[in-house]
Structure 1
Amino acid sequence: MKVRLLAPLAPNLAKLVLCSALAGSAILSAQVYADDDTIRIGFISPRTGPLANFGKTDGFILDQARAALAEGMTIAGKHYQVEIIDRDSQSDPARSSQLTKELINQGIDLMLAVSTPEVINPAADASEAAGVPFISTVMPWEAWYFGRGAKPGEASPFDWTYHFGFGTDEIYRTYISQWSLIETNKKVGVMYPNDADGNAIRAVLAPRLEQAGYTVIDPGAYETGTSDFSSQIALFKKEDVEIINTFPIPPDFAAFWRQAAQQGLHRQVKIIQIAKTGLFPSDIEVLGSLGPKIASAAYWHKTFPYTSPLTGLNGEQLAKMWETKTGEQWTLQLGATLSLLDAGTEALKQSSDPKSRTAVRDAIANMNITTIGGPVDFTSGPVPNVASGPIIGSQWVKGTGKYKLDYVITENVTDPNVPVTHELLQYNKK
């Protein structure tokens, strides 16, 4: 480093200036060296706001991941420290985008986002624009892929962003398998909101249900935050629907199902199949006596027969750790979030250089691994940038042990390795 003196200095002062300059150079070099030796992973999820149940266990999972990475990773013969920088989207799409951009400006090497289009899509778009490798999970892949501008039959417009998990094909197969367990008139009342999830499901799932012989009764898209569902309930009663399928946020479903009970709809419903809400014990417990026998679909369950390559934990061990530490019931988000961290860290390990965005992106594109949530294979589609995953038929039933409710597996068509543990119970049958 050159030091230019604009005027002659006293000998001692000249030495001071020179030493200060050299010290600054050493600090700068040390900082650059530290940056080169530290992998930074950005992580965004909804820890607060209306989607907070999705993020409730994320702090615990991040603790497990940081403990597993405490000694760093050796990749291609070089050792790196690993830093995970996590942020709360507050369930706000604009904030998710803003936080992603801030993390990118801080020099992250890999971006991870989990749970719902409101969190994932804005983070994916910001990462794509900046050329930062990105992986996400826990939303229908169609809402991620087509919801961000991809077109059926055309080349993928995405170079940097990847998503794994269930899609409408898995949802369709699970629902058909689950609904066949109880005899119904095959009339399905659907409640699909005017959002990325609802619009993708309406466009893809509803036609397939009709092709399978179900009559879909659709009162039209409703706006998130709707407080009066009287018109939808009246239509479902008039059409004598025996199955209801809905993809709302938790407060909207609670309002709908309480009103449905007040107006007598619940007495004719044999299967109430919900998604996006009803995934967590608290979603069901707030409904009181209306909660048991609500059907769900699990993108992870503690009985999944897989192990985390990052932590070495299987599902039962992870669930027990959570319950022991918190005293609260395990949730499916434990394994879902850990599977994302499994995938992210494996991509870094498999890259030729974890500090090269291109190398990390290429490692993701060629990834075929098994996480605690099951296989993640980006080499086989169903479309570029996407790896499909299972979603398993499940149901909330009255608890037989410590907790008020048990979350049981009722069918396994999308992953036969997952054991079925309970028969599907008819909702309106005592």
Structure 2
Amino acid sequence: MRRKSLLAFAAGATLALTLAACGASASQSPGGAAGAPIVLGASLPLTGQLGGFGPLIQSGYEQGVAAINAAGGVNVGGSKHQLKLVVKDNKSDPQQVTALSKSLINDDGAAVLLGSVTPPLNIPLSVVADLEQVPAVMSLAPTLAWMGANKDGWKYAYDVFVDETQQTAVNFQASDLTTTNRKVALFTDTEEDGKAMGALWESEAPKYGYTIVYRAQFPVGTTDFSQFIQKAKDSGADVMIAQVIPPDAVALWKQMKALKYSPKVAFPEKGGGFGFDQALGDVAEGACVFGWWSPTNGNVGGQAVYDAAKAKYGDGLGAQGIVATYAVVQIAADALSRAGSTDPTAVNKALSQTKDLATVLAKITFGPDHRSVLQATMTQWQRAAQPTVWPADQATTKFLAPVPGLVS
């Protein structure tokens, strides 16, 4: 059921935002009377299997909202409005995403929904957005798996992240930083992105001179990987690529170490982000995970936001996640201002017309498929940081190989 507009204002206003770094303050911008706050609603995994991501995403949203409000708020139809963020815990459960997203619209009056993380949580959010005809903007969900869940294309949902074809290529390109036998062992779970990524690694490997010699497939929540690890060892693969959730990645790495499987390059994709090193200590050293933010991506103020986030989340994907979610708020605020209204149809049209919007993440343009595709990089755990190691023109440190944390 389509939700009625919360506010109705004249169209044609332009965004009056000063993009501020996290914690910055600014005086109230002149012009326009103050209006009621505009609600941005987010259903996040604050607990559950993906609970490590939720507080980080919430922090990025809070920082984006705080910076916009400190700069005077959003100018919608000539009236200034503060943004109000409402967050609810989906407990890493897709069914909870559905229920809570509807509640954010119907009970809390959300004008725009903000995304969660991974396709399993962002896809049900997108379904609700289309059914309720209320816009949703998200990041941290690879775009092909997200698109593949709706063959007719999303109408009210928008995704800002990497394309999996490019993402899977980065694993092979980064592997070229050292000498290997070019044999690859895959470990992929059976969630949407595990299936999609595994198929892409299999199809892309020959293009880069690599051969998939073994692939393990298992359900999310697997705790014993020993049989798969032994088969990977027996295959002789120097390159190991996994697509697993964080708890599974930690268990897999511990067992690889215990069973003395030490490939020259190893990638715990999805599961090797913020908190991976805290759970593993020295065993995490040298693990590689793709990234999505760089100072060269045409962003405005992104370095300041990233540097501020490093104090809490370290130099790596945690801080990159803050930059991405901060930018989602900027995208939503820009669309609200250009729409001149909180009418969902008007905001959705404005989102679809987003072009070359400079955010802290990158310049954002949505194509007809409602994607804005970011360039993937490669990071590597080195002590307590995840510096970029590929591509060469963005690398901030030397690549470590073979994987130090797995060497017996």
The verdict on a shared fold, with TM-score over 0.5 as the criterion, is: yes
Q: How does 1:9-28 map to 2 (within 5 A)?
A: none
When the two structures are superposed, what TM-score results if normalisation uses the length of structure 2? 0.83
Q: Residues 94-119 of structure 1: CA distance to partner in whole angstroms, max 9, x if unpaired?
A: 11111101011133211111311232
Mapping for residues 393-412 of structure 1, pairs under 5 Å: 393-398=378-383, 405-412=384-391
Structure 2 equivalent of residue 361 of structure 1? 348
Identity within the alignment, %: 22
Aligned equivalents of 1:388 and 1:173: distance in 2?
Answer: 15
**Structure 2 residue aligned with 1:270:** 264
Letter in 1 for 2:55: K
Q: Which amino acid aligns with 1:92?
A: D
1:65 has 2:52 as partner: no
Q: CA deviation at 1:285?
A: 3.0
Map residues 217-256 of structure 1 onto 2, 5 A cutoff.
Answer: 217-256=213-252
In structure 1, what residue type is equivalent to 2:389? Answer: T
Cα distance in 2, alignment partners of residues 56 and 427 from structure 1: 33
Alpha-carbon distance in 2 for matches of 1:228, 1:46? 25
User: Where in structure 1 do 4 or more consecutive aligned residues deviate above 6 Å?
Assistant: 31-36
> Could you tell me how far apart the structure 1 residues matched to 2:308 and 2:215 are?
44
User: Could you say if the C-alpha distance between residues 180 and 323 of structure 1 is closer, same or farther in structure 2, counting changes exceeding 3 Å?
Assistant: closer
Is this contact kept in 1: 2:8–2:342, CA < 8 A?
no
Q: Where does residue 373 of structure 1 map in the other structure?
A: 361
Query: CA 1:32–1:395 in structure 2 vs 1: closer, same or farther (change >3 Å)?
Result: closer
Paired residue for 2:41? 42
TM superposition score normalised by structure 1: 0.79
| Cα separation, 1, equivalents of 2:310 and 2:179 | 37
Q: Distance in 1 between matches of 2:64 and 2:223?
A: 40
Q: Provide closer, same or farther for how the CA distance between residues 32 and 204 of structure 1 changes in structure 2, counting only shifts above 3 A.
A: closer
Q: How far is 1:182 from its partner? A: 0.8
Secondary structure (helix, strand or coil) at the match of 1:421 reads coil
Deviations 1:107-153 (A, max 9, x none): 3211111311232111111111111111111111111110x232xxx
Whole-angstrom CA distance in 1 between matches of 2:297 and 2:365: 17
Matched, 1:214 2:210: yes
Counterpart of 2:328 in 1: which secondary structure? Answer: helix
| Structure 2 counterparts to residues 332-347 of structure 1, below 5 A | 332-347=320-335
CA RMSD after TM alignment: 2.6
Deviation at 1:220, TM superposition (A): 3.9
* Larger relative contact order (Cα-Cα within 8 Å, sequence gap ≥ 6): 2
Q: Which runs of 5+ in 2 are unaligned?
A: 1-6, 10-32
Cα distance in structure 2, aligned partners of 1:257 and 1:60:
28
CA deviation vs aligned residue, 1:51-92 (integer Å, no higher than 9, x gap): 122123234333323323434321332333432222222211
Could you tell me which amino acid in structure 2 is paired with residue 427 of structure 1?
P
Q: Which has the larger radius of gyration?
A: 1
User: What's the counterpart of residue 390 of structure 1?
Assistant: 375
Shift of 1:224: 0.7
Contact 1:375 1:389 in 2 (8 A): no
After superposing the two structures, state which structure 1 stretch, 178-187 or 283-292, moved more.
283-292
- 1:221-263: per-residue Cα shift (whole Å, max 9, x none)? 2001111112211211111000000111111111112112222
The whole-number CA distance in structure 2 between the counterparts of 1:124 and 1:171 is 22
Judging changes above 3 Å, is the alpha-carbon distance between structure 1 residues 412 and 375 closer, same or farther for their aligned structure 2 residues?
Answer: farther
Structure-1 separation of matches of 2:73 and 2:125: 26
Q: Distance in 1 between matches of 2:156 and 2:325?
A: 20
1:159 aligns with 2:155: yes
In the superposition, relative to structure 1, how do residues 99 and 262 fare at CA in structure 2: closer, same or farther (>3 Å)? same
Residue 213 to residue 321, structure 1, CA distance change in 2 (3 Å): closer
Q: State the number of aligned residues.
A: 370
Q: For residue 391 of structure 2, what is the amino acid of its counterpart?
A: N
Once residues 98 and 362 of structure 2 are traced to their aligned partners in structure 1, the CA distance between those partners, rounded to angstroms, is 29
How far apart, CA to CA, are the structure 1 residues paired with 2:136 and 2:359? 17
Question: For the Cα contact (< 8 Å) 2:240–2:266, is it kept in 1?
Answer: yes
The separation in 2 between residues aligned to 1:241 and 1:323, in whole angstroms, is 35
Question: Which 5+ residue runs of structure 1 have no aligned equivalent?
Answer: 1-30, 151-155, 399-404
Residue of structure 2 aligned with 1:421, choices 367, 379, 396: 396
AA in 2 matched with 1:355: T
Query: How many Å separate the matches in 2 of 1:112 and 1:293?
Result: 33
